[in-house]
Structure 1
């Protein structure tokens, strides 16, 4: 049946733009995409042309993602106004395209509809893949999932025969591909993407491609309960850990577990640790030869140290989701904040001053940490896993913290979740035996804390720890030099390393 002339006139500029070459500037190309997508008539009116256009829009948003993601990988929060706006618009465009594909799948199930031959289950899986891309892009930009994203995913997955059709399906089947896309989103969500840097998040997303099918979806509770999550498809919310909030009584709930993924990941972590030990003994490059794809099966983009750090966190969060044991109390008072290990090291030295101290607002706190919000201009680039020092005023000592999560819903505001490592820190310099660097590295000496560690600890830049023994230098009233040895590596992120040590009783 030919289209009405008014519809043809409406569709012609859209199809001409889709057939043209993308603009060199992705921001301008995105603006055009949003404009022309808004001109699409309803699918019932456009008929087969609607499906053709949506498939072309799917390719165009994929191309835009490929061009915007590299900018996010190298950007620190808060994003520039232009990049923040482009990311938000691209996420909205991805969700629009996913909903369009869902409508095509629904039309394909109604055989009397005038659409091209298409497999509804394949379209559903592709639409979920687009929603997954929107979720990843939003997290890379430091924002929470936009309103409607999770409900959109549940609606798409529940189309047709409903969610029950995908729960037990393997990826080799058509329904299994939709289940696979849901598992990818759930597994990434429970990793708390706000606690990962954009590079770590991109790496984890690629790593999940080969592992996500080992996760489990079910209508029934999944053992072990401590590792499982529940989802209410009628709500716009991500999976909730059972250990944090028990599942309500409802027959509509889905249950999710990544425990099987954590077991496979644990085995690979152990294997890589063994390979690293052998590499050090034989002189291989830890971050080069060990990460050849045919040797490690790991995605590229992170060094071995960084990859292992992410893998350990993935294993732990899938096997033992974190549970808040200390109550949070709402507060509202201003504090001084210094971000970055080198900046903290400088301001902690006697008589030192720094222009990198900013004013922030505490809006809740617990015995083990704070949630703070920027209230003034930001003078430092921020990322998850970096060191931050906090104090009430100049009369109080600096509390040394680590950024557990970071959110930035707009370029003018950043929120940080901080874990307290120590109520004080002493600036020192360290040098490891066998390290490539021929100079000492600035670090912070943290005293023992009964609830956290029995020994003194060193907070140093990531990649500093390279052997058991190191030299510690403290320039105070008297110069103090000691040879020490590492007892345990307690924390490792893309920015810092925290290890306990003792003064070596048998110095060499």
Structure 2
């Protein structure tokens, strides 16, 4: 993506009130700019101008229809670039472009909803003025705005969730929520439910590719959610929505509804059963296309996010451990290679270390905020190591979530996997008949938590059919170990965690 100069955008805003309906329609007939990002200032300025220009209701509706279609084409063409796993925090240039997209989507949501506030159009009016289409487009613009915020690990703008809920309540009041407007593939309820489900999936714990993957998944399978009566809200896998509050749906066992009959609830039980069935079929060799799944479901990261979702929603209750607020510092290094060198040679090696503040902690892990130093290429699902002032060991952690409100801000949620690790080299046969050597980390057994040793490897390194693995451990002596892989404990876009046990029949 190329940067959109803010001065150009400001000039367009100033010129916008002088535009006439004819000038807007003539611009809409022009071909798209070579780069989609170049369209953003003009789209916003013409939407601003349309609010004040003279013209009939049909002319305004047709112009807004064309602006919506053109904006959707531009934004959809930009999403693949946003889905590439960005380094966190997102750089200032990319964040400025995203802010322009969010501005455009908010204007579309407001202006299409304004058609509804003008009341039902006369009989035989232009189809662009249909109430169901206006509500659908407003919901769609708000849902896209939320999804793009998830892509860059940034909290949604204030008021977006509340506006989404209220717009859907309006559709229900007008009995249009089950309608599928002309030219659309989904009903208003499906657009709303898909956005709500994505918000329930803890998007801060997802990479950009995983966000887009789940957005596509929920578009296809959101019909499996089941409404529950208000008296049944406190149950496993049940979420509730208060349309008067600017919040996503909340697990009822974690934060129950504050008053009887407040908001609405739905159960994720049916979709959890569907998720487990799909995971089982994928493990047996089924192709994603056979199950009507996005292609990403066939990857290790895709299967991993489906498994985490099924587990999380199957038991979305209270936290097992209380968090304790802290404010002490810790050093952090990222990536298997960096951890491998630190575990083997100590802090003196050439590994990028950054300083973080631990804001709270529990027996399971930490929440940390970046203070100084280069954090490295961090994404959700990466493995990192941290060392606090009170513990000389480098603890091995998994990045569970990330939040970045601006280019200078980054917070991570870290799950502690082990208090230390043993660096090793994994020898795998290569395609040319040789041997491929991969750096890996061996995690020890932990009583009452993990009965076997585990192996952290880069994602996709170990073929799924490989059961016997050869490990080389360099210490005072060179040790060669043959182990069996028993199961895959965790799969992310960056790493896999494999349970291993000694090979009882070494060759």
With normalisation by structure 1, the TM-score equals 0.87
Q: Does the C-alpha gap of structure 1 residues 354 and 159 become closer, same or farther in structure 2, counting only changes over 3 Å?
A: same
Tell me by how many angstroms 1:480 deviates.
Answer: 0.9
Deviates more, 1:485-494 or 1:311-320: 311-320
CA contact (8 A) 1:356 1:380 kept: yes
Match of 2:444 among 439, 447, 454: 447
1:338 and 2:337 matched = no
Q: Does the C-alpha gap of structure 1 residues 218 and 8 become closer, same or farther in structure 2, counting only changes over 3 Å?
A: farther
- Distance (whole Å) between structure 1 residues aligned to residue 124 and residue 322 of structure 2: 56
- Distance (whole Å) between structure 1 residues aligned to residue 121 and residue 236 of structure 2: 43
- Distance (whole Å) between structure 2 residues aligned to residue 43 and residue 156 of structure 1: 26
1:216 and 2:212 matched = no
- Distance (whole Å) between structure 1 residues aligned to residue 417 and residue 407 of structure 2: 28
Match for residue 162 of structure 1?
A: 173
1:14 and 2:13 matched = no
- Distance (whole Å) between structure 2 residues aligned to residue 172 and residue 37 of structure 1: 23
Q: Does the C-alpha gap of structure 1 residues 259 and 434 become closer, same or farther in structure 2, counting only changes over 3 Å?
A: farther
- Distance (whole Å) between structure 1 residues aligned to residue 437 and residue 80 of structure 2: 33
Match of 1:425 among 417, 421, 432: 421
Match for residue 309 of structure 2?
A: 314
- Distance (whole Å) between structure 1 residues aligned to residue 202 and residue 363 of structure 2: 21
Provide Cα deviations, 1:375-416, integer angstroms capped at 9, x if missing partner: 224341111111011112597111110011111121222111
- Distance (whole Å) between structure 2 residues aligned to residue 49 and residue 143 of structure 1: 37
CA contact (8 A) 2:428 2:436 kept: no
Match for residue 274 of structure 2?
A: 264
CA contact (8 A) 1:219 1:253 kept: no
1:106 and 2:99 matched = no
Match for residue 350 of structure 1?
A: 345
Q: Does the C-alpha gap of structure 1 residues 118 and 48 become closer, same or farther in structure 2, counting only changes over 3 Å?
A: closer
Q: Does the C-alpha gap of structure 1 residues 163 and 484 become closer, same or farther in structure 2, counting only changes over 3 Å?
A: farther
Q: Does the C-alpha gap of structure 1 residues 14 and 486 become closer, same or farther in structure 2, counting only changes over 3 Å?
A: same
SS in 2 for 1:486: strand
CA contact (8 A) 2:230 2:262 kept: no
Match of 2:300 among 302, 305, 316: 305
Tell me by how many angstroms 1:447 deviates.
Answer: 1.2
SS in 2 for 1:39: helix
Match of 1:328 among 319, 323, 345: 323
SS in 2 for 1:269: helix
- Distance (whole Å) between structure 1 residues aligned to residue 171 and residue 284 of structure 2: 48
CA contact (8 A) 2:399 2:412 kept: yes
Deviates more, 1:220-229 or 1:42-51: 42-51
SS in 1 for 2:96: helix
Match for residue 13 of structure 2?
A: none
Q: Does the C-alpha gap of structure 1 residues 255 and 300 become closer, same or farther in structure 2, counting only changes over 3 Å?
A: same
1:137 and 2:148 matched = yes
Tell me by how many angstroms 1:41 deviates.
Answer: 2.2
Q: Does the C-alpha gap of structure 1 residues 111 and 484 become closer, same or farther in structure 2, counting only changes over 3 Å?
A: same
Match of 1:236 among 223, 226, 246: 246
Q: Does the C-alpha gap of structure 1 residues 363 and 113 become closer, same or farther in structure 2, counting only changes over 3 Å?
A: farther
Q: Does the C-alpha gap of structure 1 residues 85 and 9 become closer, same or farther in structure 2, counting only changes over 3 Å?
A: closer
Match for residue 91 of structure 1?
A: 102
SS in 2 for 1:441: strand
Deviates more, 1:387-396 or 1:479-488: 387-396
Tell me by how many angstroms 1:39 deviates.
Answer: 2.5
Deviates more, 1:421-430 or 1:36-45: 36-45
Deviates more, 1:152-161 or 1:183-192: 152-161
Cα RMSD (Å) of the superposition? 3.0
Provide Cα deviations, 1:30-80, integer angstroms capped at 9, x if missing partner: 122223322332599863333223212212321222232122222332222
1:128 and 2:139 matched = yes
- Distance (whole Å) between structure 1 residues aligned to residue 174 and residue 472 of structure 2: 61
Match for residue 77 of structure 1?
A: 88
Match of 1:251 among 250, 261, 265: 261
Unaligned 5+ segments in structure 1 are 1-5, 277-289
SS in 1 for 2:49: coil
CA contact (8 A) 1:108 1:115 kept: no
Match for residue 495 of structure 1?
A: 494
Match for residue 3 of structure 2?
A: none
Match for residue 3 of structure 1?
A: none
- Distance (whole Å) between structure 2 residues aligned to residue 38 and residue 113 of structure 1: 28
Q: Does the C-alpha gap of structure 1 residues 224 and 330 become closer, same or farther in structure 2, counting only changes over 3 Å?
A: closer
Q: How many correspondences in the alignment?
A: 486
CA contact (8 A) 1:61 1:90 kept: no
1:397 and 2:393 matched = yes
Q: Does the C-alpha gap of structure 1 residues 260 and 85 become closer, same or farther in structure 2, counting only changes over 3 Å?
A: same
Match of 2:193 among 183, 188, 193: 183
Match for residue 281 of structure 1?
A: none
Unaligned 5+ segments in structure 2 are 1-15
